[in-house]
Structures are given as structure tokens and as C-alpha cells.
Amino acid sequence: MKDKESDPFSTYQENKVLLNSIFMRDKMTKYSKQLVDNYFSALLKAHEKIEMTRDPLELGMIQDIVSDYLKDMQWHVKYDASHSDFDPQYRFDLVARKEKRTIVILVQPEITKKSILDIQKEIFDAKKEMPSTRVLVATDILELPYILQKGALAGFISDMAKKHKLGILFVDKNLDYQETWLVPSEFLYV
């Protein structure tokens, strides 16, 4: 447990500040490259502890974990919320609001080339209607290596982070706990 306390953003307050900071450019620039690198090291350690034989988390489970995380951070969360401003068939997995800030969460249990293309389309749709909205992709922490590996997929995610401020929420759940790690877009291209 002592090791966990030394991980960046391991406390409730640090997580809350990070989540609120994604809307404030000046606050995001204060996170040093070393702190971001330490955070990714902590994420990799968390990934290594996972039982690799466990099944990937399903969409509904990821949705519930992210919803709980955002509610703990005092955000108002809605499932499958459609917006009258959008095509009535267009639906987000989760929408979170706090004051005048909005986060759209797209749940992707697996990150593939096809899911990245779908995410890009959904980002364009969301940003067209609500430019200040932050878009986050929520996925199982088992997907971490695919996102961090050098290659087309990682490059595409980094590019969307730069251009469209796409961030990621990694989640894990076992019998004893559930965890969520926020990776703001600014951390994906530092």
C-alpha cells in the first residue's frame, strides 16, 4: 500500500484536481514531463499487476465504473444521453456535467483501428455542436500497451489528443475494488 501512495494522482484530491484541470490550459501546463512520465510508470505497474487471464471488461461494466468515478468527483452523470441538438439517433455512452463544463465519454472495451475511426467521427460530431466539450475514451486497462506502443494506433491517438483534446480513462475491476485512471489529452503528447 505504501507504493500506491507514492504514485502520482493516487489520492482523491489529486484526482479531483486533475479532472477539473482538463478544462484549464494554464493548469495543464504546470504538470511537468517528469510527473507525466511517473504517472505512466505507475499505470504500467498497475497494468502488470492485473491477472492477464481475466476477461476484458464489458461495455456496461466500464460504463458503471466510469460513472461511479465521475459521481465521486461530484459530476452529474447520465447514461446513453441523446441530445436534441444532435441527430436523434446519435448517442453517447456517458455525459458528465459540472457547472458549465461537459465531458462526453465513449466506451471502447477494445481499442482497434476500426474503433479509432468510430471515435474520430464521434469527436467531430461532439465538437461541432459543443466546441468546449472534452471527449474521453473509457477502456479496460488491459488496452494500455496498445495505446502506448509506438505505431500507427498510438500515433493516431496522440494526433487526436493534440488536435481534438481526446483523453483516456483506463479502468480495472476485481472482487475487492475498482479503479479509474484519467490520462488527459495533454499527457498523451508530452
- The CATH number of whichever domain residue 166 belongs to comes to 3.40.1350.10
Domain hosting residue 25, numbered range: 2-188
In angstroms, what CA-CA distances link 126 with 25, 56, 86, 92, 166? 20, 27, 8, 9, 11
Collapsing DSSP to helix, strand or coil, 160 comes out as: helix
- What pLDDT score does 87 carry? 46
Alpha carbon distance 48, 64 (integer Å): 23
- What pLDDT score does 93 carry? 87
User: With a cut of 70, which residues of the chain have pLDDT below it?
Assistant: 1-6, 80-91, 190
- What pLDDT score does 86 carry? 47
Alpha carbon distance 63, 40 (integer Å): 23
What is the domain count for the chain? 1
Alpha carbon distance 129, 99 (integer Å): 18
- What pLDDT score does 130 carry? 79
Alpha carbon distance 106, 91 (integer Å): 10
Pick the closest to residue 62 from 143, 149, 148, 180 (CA basis). 180
182 touches 16 (CB < 8 A): no
- Measure CA 131 to chain center: 18
Quickly list H helices, 12-171: 12-21, 25-28, 33-49, 59-72, 113-129, 144-148, 152-164
Alpha carbon distance 41, 35 (integer Å): 10
Q: How many CB atoms lie within 10 A of CB 25?
A: 10
120 touches 160 (CB < 8 A): yes
In angstroms, what CA-CA distances link 144 with 53, 94, 174, 181? 16, 21, 17, 11
What DSSP state is assigned to residue 107?
Answer: E
